[in-house]
């Protein structure tokens, strides 16, 4: 049986006047039915671009998907235009940091939630409006029957975020992608929206891809985690075992510099040195200039593939076994 989603060797580059930026370099990960996968990385690790590539919303030019596969129930989206049209925006939807830019100021919130239902489910105005109210209840927007005719500017930031989630859920997606969905909100509201997402994922049984740089959010909400560095997934596995015993020196470094990862709002404190520029990624292992386990002649020459190291665990390190022990 195939995975719900399997991404293999996905690459995205941006062709700029300053040269080529390799934002995503052979990203691979899997997502199971009804699971929450966190894609964890510092800014510039390629996590948002990966999500945008899944949804087919990379600005092109300058951005281009230059290789790889995005398999949905086993079929490659990148090789099938018809399938792309059916999946993106319907079976796989996305919410963003900034709800204001996702909502159109000139239409009511209810009208926008109902839009997909009119287009894809051929619902009438009345039916789709009634369903929009139900969806607003689902995402816990109080007083939905009255607020369905409000405009986005009449909503608070947190309520707009909920409205955007309602839009994304209208067509019962199998996968919801959330790119730093709470970063723009107050801390209290952040926690509420994250709780809502967790609850919806569980109750609706959909799979959730959570793009984040917040270790606390990962431990609280995600089942599995894919850690990204320099446009690659360098480690993937279930959250508890990855955090307890990392199989990659980068993850290990994050854990050592962050002894208490159970608190929400904990940001990644990068380990010594800086991540490479994506237009000048080091040869071999991209982490080798910062890695305490680095072996010259191997690490600075051969790029380590993401490989199984324990049941359910994969690492892109030549010496993963040493890191694990």
The residue ranges that bind Mg ion (CB under 5 A) are 48
Residue choice 288, 306, 309, 314 for contact with ligand SF4 (CB under 6 A): 288
Q: Which of residues 193-252 bind ligand SF4 (CB under 6 A)?
A: 248-249
Listed ranges 4-12, 47-55, 72-80, 284-292: which one lies at the site for ligand SF4 (CB under 6 A): 284-292
Shortest Cβ distance from residue 288 to ligand SF4 (Å)?
4
The values of phi and psi at residue 274, to 5°, are -120, 150
- Residues 306-325: x where in contact with ligand SF4 by CB under 6 A, - otherwise, as a string: -----------xxx------
48 binds, among Mg ion, ligand SF4, none (CB under 5 to 8 A by kind): Mg ion
**Which residue, chain included where needed, has tokens 């927007």?**
141
Shortest Cβ distance from residue 233 to ligand SF4 (Å)?
13
314 binds, among ligand SF4, Mg ion, none (CB under 5 to 8 A by kind): none
131 binds, among ligand SF4, Mg ion, none (CB under 5 to 8 A by kind): none
Residue choice 207, 226, 228, 291 for contact with ligand SF4 (CB under 6 A): 291
Shortest Cβ distance from residue 305 to ligand SF4 (Å)?
10
CB-count burial class (<10 Å; 0-12, 13-18, 19+) for 20:
middle
**Closer CB to ligand SF4, residue 68 or residue 304?**
304
Residue choice 304, 306, 313, 314 for contact with ligand SF4 (CB under 6 A): 304
**Closer CB to Mg ion, residue 159 or residue 228?**
228
User: Does 299 contact ligand SF4 by CB under 6 A?
Assistant: yes
**Closer CB to ligand SF4, residue 225 or residue 234?**
234
Shortest Cβ distance from residue 286 to Mg ion (Å)?
19
In the complex, the residues that contact ligand SF4 under the rule CB under 6 A are: 248-249, 285, 287-288, 291, 293-294, 299, 304, 317-319
């Amino acid at each position: 049986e195939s995975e719900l989603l399997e991404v293999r060797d996905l690459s995205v580059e941006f062709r700029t006047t300053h040269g080529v930026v390799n934002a995503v370099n052979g990203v691979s990960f899997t997502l199971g039915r009804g699971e929450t996968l966190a894609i964890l990385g510092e800014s510039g690790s390629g996590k948002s671009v990966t999500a945008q590539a899944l949804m087919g919303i990379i600005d092109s030019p300058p951005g281009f998907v230059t290789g790889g596969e995005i398999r949905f129930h086993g079929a490659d989206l990148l090789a099938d235009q018809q399938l792309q049209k059916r999946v993106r925006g319907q079976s796989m939807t996305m919410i963003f940091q900034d709800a204001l830019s996702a909502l159109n100021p000139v239409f009511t919130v209810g009208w926008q939630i109902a839009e997909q239902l009119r287009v894809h489910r051929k619902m009438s105005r009345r039916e789709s409006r009634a369903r929009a109210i139900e969806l607003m209840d689902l995402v816990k927007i109080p007083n939905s029957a009255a607020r369905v005719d409000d405009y986005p500017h009449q909503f608070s930031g947190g309520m707009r975020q909920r409205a955007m989630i309602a839009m994304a859920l209208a067509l019962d997606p199998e996968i919801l992608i959330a790119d730093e969905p709470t970063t723009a909100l107050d801390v209290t509201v952040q926690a509420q929206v994250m709780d809502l997402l967790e609850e919806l994922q569980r109750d609706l049984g959909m799979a959730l891809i959570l793009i984040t740089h917040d270790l606390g959010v990962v431990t609280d909400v995600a089942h599995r985690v894919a850690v990204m560095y320099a446009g690659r997934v360098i480690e993937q596995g279930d959250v508890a075992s990855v955090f307890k015993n990392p199989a990659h020196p980068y993850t290990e470094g994050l854990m050592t510099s962050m002894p208490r990862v159970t608190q929400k709002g904990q940001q990644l404190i990068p380990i010594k040195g800086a991540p490479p520029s994506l237009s000048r990624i080091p040869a071999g292992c991209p982490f080798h200039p910062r890695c305490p386990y680095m072996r010259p002649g191997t690490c600075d020459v051969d790029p380590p593939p993401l490989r199984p190291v324990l049941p359910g665990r994969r690492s892109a390190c030549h010496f993963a076994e040493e890191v694990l022990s």
